[in-house]
Structure 1
């Protein structure tokens, strides 16, 4: 399956930056070189003991707990590598801020666990070091044990700059009790947006719940849910050579018009990540789009029967695209000894031990690099609306080129919200977003 959302598996690695919180990092690093982020890594191996520091999103416990579990003193005894975890004091955003501060101070960590959507940031800034020499020099590592689609997530210019620890996908959670109260069949969930609209309206009209559908926009920085729907309809946010924005794309326009009509009729509600969950667990919402990795939260927090299904596509015949979210690890050090230590840690995290730990932590709600760990939870994956064919078609989320990528997302999100909350014409809102964001492209 090929998406037309400009998510090519090989991307240009240049002097570009994708997250606004690290814009200063690009200015400091592009075209320049310091000892921590210049030159080609040698990939040289060493048997000497080494300590490496890994910056982590410590508040994202479902990401860091498995790392704590496998990178233990036993791991150190076996490999000679000690991992010192450096707390960011927050989530992925805090990690990015800490990397910026460390870059300015000339004291980058050896590696960091980041959002997979941000790998391009550090490649374009010239900070991330490729893993390929280390992978190729390690006779005990067999890349055939890895899921090919995931292994490709961090590849730029045919070099592997990031390795995913987890990949989650967007699913539709729905309240079966609300469906029954509305006269809907919970065994026949909507598969298209036409069916989704009918179900959402019936939920509200019947009084089964105040909102038929909830959509998260306020703090979805890469508009993950929107990206999946637009990609499934063959839509594109940029042209093929990524020189121009295409916010007038029919798939994007159709999605915004759909949501605007439902919002005007009080059928859809817009939430941030916290309030959407609270509303859903109160029974105030019939249907939400959310990450597969939230399945355990639903199991523990819902006092009603909930179901999980593939998210609906815009039209019959659309190919459902799974643009994956999740965590990846990138390497900053170019010191051969420390690189080898980072690789020892990474190999543990992406191997059977790490993969199993991540699957157990997230209740089977993620796919990991290690095929054997995925095979062990195939039933859990199936319960979360995932098939083996879906995994083969996983692709990373799209990211705009240049230093102002996050600012572009913010402009687009603000204009969409204006259409949904203030009645602005959707086509005009998207045209204004394109005009405002176009100047931010490199």
Structure 2
């Protein structure tokens, strides 16, 4: 009888524990970058929150896929409870009322700033004065160098390029050695991110101040598209997919690679000691003029159920907080926007200088621009398609004409006021 009662009691206790557990679904992009990160973060989160069960959905391919799928799911009511979206996609999810405002959750925290969630961090996930997401992983564009090839070309770590002119000159020297291509840039990266970097670094903007007219076709944009054309024409830059570029660089077949800090950890592993890797600052940064778009992603609550929202908020705080941020940095190449996470990583950055390079570019950080209106995602594709004609060489010689076409296409898709 005692055994039966004990079993019954245990069964009741187990049932009660299950009743007190809240399950939330979470979905993120770029599994090749974040699978390990999310697994480690979930293990740490579950130890502190045994009452919350997290179930991961199959990851999104990239940020475009993430935004498009959530927009479709918003219609059918099948969104995950938490979604990790590109920083430039907060606007569209807020406009469609899919993202849940976080202001009340933040107001109920005792001292949010002291926990590392400074105002600048919150503004990165804000739209029209309301916070819709907490930044999770921040990246900036940098240059990756195969130092074995660089040294053969006559430079060392103390004489790395600081301008695009220097980059192109070095690329030509590496190309002339006959062992590898000189340079490749991940121009087609999600959300026109590196196109924005080129324009912003020259002091330009995507649209005018009231967002009624294209502005990237001004002098800053002409310099930007001219740089891309020079990479193709002068430096003989090959037109590769991101995966082809990463494989070629890691195999020692490209001397320089311009892309996101997010790839540092993965690239280092792929190289595996085949050559010396060094990272350097983005070219032609001018104090008081240049800005660089903050890449990366933001954690957004999409759950409508109040209990799931509370559980999702705990997950957001952990993921974007000091412990979650430190896990993310150590397993990727991103930077943590949470200031307390940065404090935990001082020794890590000292031991991993290639991941610390981007920190010096933080004074140039600005928002990753999202085009307004229902055609925002379509504009991204239009710009990518037009840039393709420069990067594949078919219209590299008429780059400014491509820019004019790109501006006209974009203007036609902007909201009419």
**TM bracket, shorter-chain basis:** 0.7 to 0.9
- Say whether the 8 Å CA contact 1:221–1:410 is kept in structure 2: no
Q: Tell me whether 1:64 sits opposite 2:38 in the alignment.
A: yes
- For 2:30 and 2:206, the matched residues in 1 are separated by 33
Q: How big is the shift at 1:317?
A: 5.7
Q: Aligned in 2, Cα 1:330/1:304: closer, same or farther, shift over 3 Å?
A: same
Q: Aligned in 2, Cα 1:93/1:174: closer, same or farther, shift over 3 Å?
A: same
Q: Aligned in 2, Cα 1:57/1:422: closer, same or farther, shift over 3 Å?
A: closer
- For 1:257 and 1:107, the matched residues in 2 are separated by 44
Residue of structure 1 equivalent to 2:277? 306
Residue of structure 2 equivalent to 1:35? none
Q: How big is the shift at 1:231?
A: 0.9
- Say whether the 8 Å CA contact 1:149–1:392 is kept in structure 2: no
Q: Aligned in 2, Cα 1:399/1:94: closer, same or farther, shift over 3 Å?
A: closer
Structure having the higher helix fraction is 2
Per the normalisation by structure 2, the TM-score is 0.84
Secondary structure of 1:244's aligned partner: coil
Deviates more, 1:283-292 or 1:148-157: 148-157
Q: How big is the shift at 1:261?
A: 3.0
Residue of structure 2 equivalent to 1:439? 412
Q: Aligned in 2, Cα 1:109/1:281: closer, same or farther, shift over 3 Å?
A: closer
- For 2:330 and 2:108, the matched residues in 1 are separated by 31
Q: Aligned in 2, Cα 1:237/1:177: closer, same or farther, shift over 3 Å?
A: same
- Look at both structures and tell me which one has the larger radius of gyration over its CA atoms: 2
Q: Which has the higher contact order (CA 8 A, sep 6+)?
A: 1
Deviates more, 1:219-228 or 1:128-137: 219-228
- Say whether the 8 Å CA contact 1:230–1:255 is kept in structure 2: yes
1:111 to 48, 72, 82: 82
- Say whether the 8 Å CA contact 1:113–1:328 is kept in structure 2: yes
Q: How big is the shift at 1:189?
A: 0.7
Q: Aligned in 2, Cα 1:375/1:391: closer, same or farther, shift over 3 Å?
A: farther
Which whole-Å deviations, capped at 9, do the CAs of 1:362-387 have from their partners, x for residues lacking one?
2xx22224322212223554723547
Which whole-Å deviations, capped at 9, do the CAs of 1:334-384 have from their partners, x for residues lacking one?
43332212111111212222122212222xx22224322212223554723
Which whole-Å deviations, capped at 9, do the CAs of 1:299-335 have from their partners, x for residues lacking one?
2222111211101127x66755332222211112343
- Say whether the 8 Å CA contact 1:237–1:246 is kept in structure 2: yes
Q: Aligned in 2, Cα 1:254/1:322: closer, same or farther, shift over 3 Å?
A: closer
1:132 to 89, 100, 103: 103
1:244 to 213, 226, 229: 213
- For 2:49 and 2:376, the matched residues in 1 are separated by 39
Q: Tell me whether 1:170 sits opposite 2:141 in the alignment.
A: yes
Q: How big is the shift at 1:105?
A: 2.0
Q: How big is the shift at 1:184?
A: 2.5
Deviates more, 1:382-391 or 1:319-328: 382-391
Secondary structure of 2:314's aligned partner: helix
**Alignment of structure 1 residues 308-327 onto 2, 5 Å:** 308-313=279-284, 319-327=289-297
Q: How big is the shift at 1:123?
A: 0.8
Which whole-Å deviations, capped at 9, do the CAs of 1:34-57 have from their partners, x for residues lacking one?
xxxxxxxxxxxxx96533222333
Q: Tell me whether 1:52 sits opposite 2:24 in the alignment.
A: yes
Secondary structure of 1:439's aligned partner: helix
Residue of structure 2 equivalent to 1:426? 399
Per the normalisation by structure 1, the TM-score is 0.80
For these two proteins, the number of residue pairs brought into alignment is 388
- Say whether the 8 Å CA contact 1:293–1:366 is kept in structure 2: yes
Which whole-Å deviations, capped at 9, do the CAs of 1:192-221 have from their partners, x for residues lacking one?
11211221222223x15442211223x423
2:49 to 73, 76, 79: 76
- Say whether the 8 Å CA contact 2:387–2:402 is kept in structure 1: yes
Residue of structure 2 equivalent to 1:374? 342
Which whole-Å deviations, capped at 9, do the CAs of 1:261-286 have from their partners, x for residues lacking one?
34124532232210111221232221
